[in-house]
Amino acid sequence: MFIELTDHLRCIADHDESFVVLLPDEVVDRSVRSGTLGCPTCGRVYRIADGVLDAGDAPPPAAENAPAGEALAALAGLGGPGGYMVLAGSAGARWAELAGAVPGVHLVLVNPPPGIAEAPGMSVLHSSRLPLRSGSMRAVVLGAPYGGDASWTDEAARVVLPGLRVVGHGPAPAAADLDVLADAEGWWVAQRVRR
């Protein structure tokens, strides 16, 4: 897990957002290979092993394919380097293609398909919800099975910056914080409403 991603993480417990504290055991080239994250609010502890953060009870991802990396980059509407982009579920299978299409953007894979391990420019998180701070991501892509789940679309709307996009696989969401821009062939694109 990229050490600087720690600044954008939060505890997944139901309480007000607060920072988490990283206690690394092994760091290699700015990647935390092992250690723990602790929540000072509720005392929960999360493990990092082999560079992967385990925040608990990650549902199994679907095997459905996502569009090609360049198509996902276009749907997400990212222009320029910097920041973070989330790929949840099956969308994580396209991380290598996407890394080439959005250079300089760190990819955060949440519950990716089996066999995907952390690599430079990409972090892997396993969690029952997005363990990310509100308004901290430049884009979120919800692959199967998350794009049609209202709790995950609400979470995506929470973590993406205002005015930026959430892309999903499934029926278009009815989230109050998302304005759907397009919906075709099982994929939708929405923009977080500015308030």
CATH number of 175's domain:
3.40.50.150
One domain for residues 100 and 157: yes
C-alpha to C-alpha distance for 92 and 163, rounded to whole angstroms: 23
- For residue 135, give the nearest of 2, 47, 7 by alpha carbon: 7
One domain for residues 8 and 75: no
One domain for residues 31 and 77: no
Q: How many separate domains does the chain show?
A: 2
> Is 104:97 a contact under the CB 8 Å cutoff?
no
C-alpha to C-alpha distance for 81 and 121, rounded to whole angstroms: 12
E strands, the chain, are 21-28, 31-38, 45-49, 52-54, 84-88, 106-110, 122-126, 137-142, 160-169, 178-184, 187-192
Residue type, 67: P
Tokens for 150? 């209202």
One domain for residues 77 and 35: no
Cross-strand partners of 183: 188
- On whether residue 57 sits in a domain, the answer given is no
Parent domain of 31? 3-51
Q: Based on the number of CB atoms within 10 Å of its own CB, is 40 exposed (0-12), middle (13-18) or buried (19 or more)?
A: exposed
What are 20-50's pLDDT values in tens digits?
999 999 999 999 999 999 999 999 999 999 9
What are 77-128's pLDDT values in tens digits?
998 899 999 999 999 999 999 999 999 999 999 999 988 989 999 999 999 9
One domain for residues 119 and 35: no
Predicted confidence band of residue 62 (pLDDT cuts 50, 70, 90): low
What are 131-186's pLDDT values in tens digits?
999 999 999 999 989 999 999 999 999 999 999 999 999 999 988 899 999 999 89
